[in-house]
Structures are given as C-alpha cells and as structure tokens.
Chain A
Amino acid sequence: MKKLMMALTMAASFALAGSAHAADKLKVGFIYIGPPGDFGWTYQHDQGRKQLEKELGDKVETTFLENVPEGADAERAIERLARSGNKLIFTTSFGYMDATVKVAQKFPNVKFEHATGYKTADNVAVYNSRFYEGRYVQGVIAAKLSKTGVAGYIGSFPIPEVVEGINSFMLGAQSVNPNFKIKVIWANSWFDPAKEADAAKALVDQGVDIITQHTDSTAPMQVASERKIKAFGQASDMIKFGPETQLTSIVDNWGPYYVERAKAVLDGTWKSHNVFEGMHEGLVVMAPYTNMPDDVKKLAEETQAKITSGELKPFTGPIKKQDGSEWLKAGETADDKTILSMNFYVAGVDDKLPQ
C-alpha cells in the first residue's frame, strides 16, 4: 500500500512539473460538444485548433475536452480548463453560454470566447458566423440545376441558425426560379446518420432531386450519391463521401479567428467583442464548385463574390413572410438582431415552425 502511495505521489509530482514547465506558453482550451471526428461542427473547430497550433507553434499549447454535455457538466469542464492554467478558452456550442458566463465571473484573468451565443462580459467575447451567406449561394445553384424544382432540406433543430439557412437558401433559389419549392424534414438531432439517411431517402422518394442538410453527418451525401442525385455538404468539405455528388459545401473556417484571438492575448490587446462574421472575413468558405455545368459554376462564383464584397446581402427586401405579411421593404436589409433570433419562414417555404 505504501509503495502504491509513493508511486502515486511521484506520478503527481511529474504531472505538476509538467504544468510548471509550460507556464511561459499561452495555454488555450477548447470545449467540444461532439467528437473531433464527426466531420461536421466539432471537426471544423478542431481543424481551427490545429491551425492555431501550427501557426503559433511554441507560443501556444492547446487542450480540448470532447463530448461535453451542455448543462451542469459544461460548467465543471470549463472550470477545470480554467483551473489547469488555460488563459484563453473557446466554448464551441451555443448551449455552453450560461456556463461560460458563470465560470468567467470566477476567473477574471482568463479570457473566454463563446461561439454562436449572445451574452458577453469583460472577459467573455462572442463569435458567430454568417453561414446563411453560403446557403444563399447553394439556393442559387439548386434552382439552376433542379429539374423537378424541388429541393430536400434536412434540418437538425428549429433554432435561428437553421431557420436563417432555410430562408436564405429559399431566397437564393427564388432569385433564379420564383416558384422553387423545398421540403423540410427535421431529424431532431445534429448527428444521427441512420435517421439522416432515412430522411434523405424519404425526400428522394418524394421527388426532390437536390438535397441539402443542416445536420452534421455525411449520411445524406452518401444516400444522394447512391440515388444519383446532387447534394450540398455541411460544415466541412464532404467531397470524398460523394465525389460525383457534392456541388459545394459550406466550410466553417474558424482557424483565422482562433489565431487572431490567441495573438491578441499574447500581445495583451485582447478585448471582449461580439462579432458576426461571414464570407467577407473568411469565416465562411465555399468548397470548390463541382459536378455542375460551367454557366452555373460561373453564376455561383459571381454570387459568392457579390456577397463577399458586401454588394449582395441575402436578407434584402422586398421579402414577404410565409403568412404573406411584409417583412422587409424594397432595399431594406435585416439587422443582425433579427437575423440572430430568426423564428419565421419567408414566403414559399412549405413547413411549419413550432411556436
């Protein structure tokens, strides 16, 4: 027993020595909602973390905790990261918001960055991405390519981010074909390949010839390539799951932001902020346009260029809501708060949101 205790004490002192050695580096912690290998949301955050390690090399040391459930466990996990010497902590899911704010109050010297939320503090910044800009481009492509004039849309949960995407996709499609239709199926999960596959099959069986998804697995892409129709990827470039199927994919490119914020901490210039960035800042990147005729590709690239330059904003009037009432007058653009809390469909979407 004594021997065991001694061994344990030794092991402990090794662990301590290890952390003391790393004190001159900036320790950066990440909290992930899923496994880094999901090929969707968490995968992209982890790519960002790797880019951070690559670009800043010796100056940083990164750690992550994966599969952290939102709620009570999140608060403990964030606090553990803060206590083990991380000075910059990225919490990468909306549900970590309150836990992040609570822990931040206890650790005023640690900087926190929360993805996709809205609560900030002196040491809590918020960052979010305009994924919907990519959806607009996808809508344009879908309306150009679809023969049936109907696209299938696999949604995860009816939260603003997803609703924004559906509306933006619809507006993009309507800019080409005003009578374009989409069919929506909610998978009630971010990541359930079997159910996403079933949903994709059901959509194809009902006559859609293009599938787009706002769930994180590659299953819909695989179904689409089996059924020989086209599809859009989600969160990461899924081309290897559908080499002849993927038209393009919205790639969440967090790397540059992570590098910028870590540098700011190193320089001592870090300030809390609430940013909502998109194509212009390089947070939203489109995977190469593939499997489409040149004219469609050209139109897609032009649309992307216009959004990037700010010439085109997807939510610009005149836009009517689903019930026919006016949302935006001609030339009027939606403000960020409306976008971030979007809970209604634009005209033409054939689905009901839970109220």
Chain B
Amino acid sequence: MMRIEIVKRPQHSALFSALSPFIALLLTLIAGAVLFSILGKNPVSALYSYFIEPLTEVWSIHELLIKAAPLILIAVGLSVCFLSNNWNIGAEGQLIAGGIAGSILPVVFPDFQGWYVLPLMLLLSMAGGMAYATIPAYLKVRFNTNEILTSLMLVYVAQLFLDWLVRGPWRNPQGYNFPETVQFNESAILPAIWAESGRAHWGFILALIAAVIVWFMLSRTLNGFEIKVLGRSARAGRFAGFSAGKLTFFAFLISGALAGLAGIAEVSGAVGQLRTSISPGYGFTAIIVAFLGRLNPLGIIAAGLVLALSYLGGEAAQISLGISEKSARIFQGIILFFVLASDTLIYYRIRIVSRLSDTALKGA
C-alpha cells in the first residue's frame, strides 16, 4: 500500500520555482506523445507539427504573434487579479466590451479620420473594458457578491449584446444585411509591425509594453507589495493598513483595461471590422496563460507564446496528419493541470511512503 504525503518546506524552493513550468511542459509533452500513440499517430511527427512546424516559416511566426497578443494582454491583467485573490474569470466579456467601445469611432463616425483616431480608440477600448469590469468589482465590494459567478454571467450578456449590436443598429448598410459592421477606415486600423513579411500588428507590441509595466508595478512598487500581501492573507493586509476593497477595484480595473485593449487590438488589428463574435475564447485561455506564466508578467509573455503555438500546431497537425483539432484543447487543459501540480513542489516536499515503513517507523 503506497501513500503520498506532503510536507511543508520551511521556505519555498527557489529551484523548483524556476523549474516548475518546465517540468509541467515536459510532462505535457509526454502526455501528448501518449495521447497521439493511442490515436495511432506517430508521436514524434505529431509533436513536430505541433511545436516546431509553425515556427519554420516567417508568415507563421507572424500568425503566432497575432494569436499570442490578446492572450498575453489579458493574462497580464489577470495576474494582478489572481495575485490579489480576485477571481475575475469574465475577461472574455471585458474583451468584448472593449472591442465594442473601441469600435464606436470607426463604425458610428466613419468620416472622423486622422492620426488621433487610433489612440482614441485604444483609450475608449480600455475605458469600455474597465467599465464592464467595474460591475463585478462593485458588486463584490459593496454587496459581497461572488465575483467568479457575476463576471462569468456578464460574459454571456456581453456576447448577446454584441450579437444584437452587429445584427441591428451597427450593421453595414451596404453589406447585404449580413451581420458585420462596415470595414474600418484606414486611420482606424492598428498597423502591421512589418507588413512586408506578414500580418502581425501592433497588438503584440502593446502586450509587451503592458507586461513590462505591470511587472515593474508588481515587483518594484508599494502597490505591488500591497497586492501580494493582501492576496496571501486579507488579515495581514488589514493590519498593514491596506484596503481590500480598493485593491479589488484596482485589480479589476487593470485587468478590464487590458482585456478591453486586447478586444480592440483583435478587432482593429486582426479583423478590420466588428463581427458578432470577436474572440474564440481568449478570455478563458488567458487563465491558463496566467498560471503557466506563474502569475509573473514576464513569464506570461513566454506562456502566451506557448499557448498560441498550441493553436497553430493544432492546425498544422490537422493538415499534415489529420489529427483532430480537439487535441489542441486537451493539451491546454492538461498543461494547466501539470502546472498546478508542479507548483506544489515549490512549497512542499513530496514523499511516497509505503504502509510498511510507516508502521515500522511508528514501532520504533
């Protein structure tokens, strides 16, 4: 009879702190290889098309950046939330709110053009995301309402609202009554980083900037300290004179703003018009990214790229090996499990004890 026992380490292990994401990735690769073998595919070529093939061409790397940008932007914001124990899982809704708010100028005032349009759109999108994130924050602080549930319910509401908007008032009058808005004018399009080689737009740069700023805030400012203290223990935070309510607002506002920014980056950079659905679940995948990046904004950049790769790899594997795209989603679930499990190693020692030695020990 075997038993797993865990013992708290006197202090957390710096070694495992650095290693745990890699352990998780390695375990995921092994699990993936097993999965592909069960499916009757050559695991080596499957893993090749998943994780290497998309990186072998320049255009595909551009696509990787496009896919990673919203994931990183959202996850960076979520890291502030999660570190401070605010469980915002409605980033998808905040992304949509940002996408809608940011599209007001090009859709409602298409004749309003100039260099200032794009910055205004970005600001509006952040305001939209923030406004939408304020709802669960306010309900949590004022009425003690569970933010997990309210933020999630608001996702459905936002999706339906966007659907109504694009099918109704904002529909392109010249578009055969199909559900899409007008194409954004030139000055409302987020430009490409390097147009000659591929489609990647400035959304990725924005994501990098956001990650660095939030990293600085978390690791070098009093604000960051407050977040971490209150996140670990609300009581300790109160003794130190920090206000949990204010912090809740702060965390939700940051993550709402970044999710909103991700929304407009997607709409204006990658698509060029508002449609009835603008995100294939980035707000949810970003939760994985945040944890895979160990809630550290710099780690999140790497994590966002890895997750983005799994999407592209899923397509490559579909084309070259006929592997179902569902495998990509399993990968994403598995990776989060392994990340969480590996994190245990940071704070705990794991011992596998057999019953026999246990009783022997007690006898002695």
Contacts and interface: CB of A to CB of B under 8 A. Distances in A.
Tell whether A and B belong to one assembly: yes
Interface of A: 7-8, 11-12, 14-15, 18, 63, 65-67, 69-73, 75-77, 79-81, 83-84, 94-95, 98, 118, 157-160, 188, 340-343, 354-355
Contact of B325 (A14, A67, A342): A67
Contacts of A81: 319
Contact of B319 (A14, A84, A94, A343): A84
Contacts of B270: 71-72, 75
Interface in B166-186: 167-168, 176-180, 183
A341 B277 contact: no
Contact of B179 (A69, A76, A159): A159
Contact of A159 (B178, B271, B316, B320): B178
B87 to A, nearest CB: 26
Most-contacted residue by chain B among A67, A72, A81 (CB, 10 A) = A72
Contact of A94 (B44, B178, B312, B325): B178
B59 interface: yes
Which 3 pairs of residues, A with B, have the shortest CB-CB distance?
A72-B270, A11-B45, A341-B176
B53 A12 contact: yes
Interface in B315-347: 315-316, 318-320, 324-325
Interface string B47-71: 0110011001101100100110000
A18 B264 CA distance: 41
B59 A70 contact: no
B245 to A, nearest CB: 37
Interface string B261-273: 0000010001111
6 contacts: A12-B56, A15-B45, A76-B63, A158-B167, A160-B178, A354-B164
A320 to B, nearest CB: 20
B294 interface: no
Given A15-B45, A72-B66, A8 B318 contact: no
A71 B176 contact: no
Contacts of A118: 176
B48 A159 contact: no
A94 B180 CA distance: 11
B52 A8 contact: yes
Given A80-B60, A80-B315, A160-B178, 18 more contacts: A8-B44, A11-B42, A12-B48, A12-B56, A15-B49, A15-B53, A71-B275, A72-B66, A72-B266, A72-B271, A94-B178, A98-B183, A157-B167, A158-B167, A159-B178, A160-B177, A188-B160, A340-B176
Contacts of A72: 66-67, 266, 270-271
B49 A73 contact: no
Nearest to A16: B320
Given A188-B163, A354-B164, A77 B48 contact: no
B96 interface: no
B179 A157 contact: yes
Nearest to A341: B176
A14 B44 CA distance: 12
Contacts of A79: 59, 63
B259 interface: no
Contacts of B325: 65-67
A88 to B, nearest CB: 15
A122 to B, nearest CB: 20
A297 B167 CA distance: 38
Interface in B29-55: 42, 44-45, 48-49, 52-53
A280 B357 CA distance: 82
B199 A75 contact: yes
B292 interface: no
Most-contacted residue by chain B among A11, A14, A79 (CB, 10 A) = A11
Contacts of A63: 319
Contacts of A15: 45, 48-49, 53, 320
B278 interface: yes
Contacts of A341: 176-177
Contacts of A83: 57, 59
Nearest to A340: B176
A83 B56 CA distance: 13
B363 interface: no
Contacts of A66: 318, 324-325
B78 to A, nearest CB: 21
A74 B301 CA distance: 24
Contacts of B266: 71-72
A354 B167 contact: yes
B280 interface: yes
Contacts of B278: 71
B272 A98 contact: yes
Contacts of B167: 157-159, 354
A354 B63 CA distance: 36
B315 A65 contact: yes
B313 to A, nearest CB: 11
Contacts of B180: 95
Given A15-B45, A71-B278, A73-B280, A160 B53 contact: no
Contact of A65 (B52, B63, B168, B318): B318
Contacts of B176: 118, 160, 340-341
A94 to B, nearest CB: 6
B271 A14 contact: no
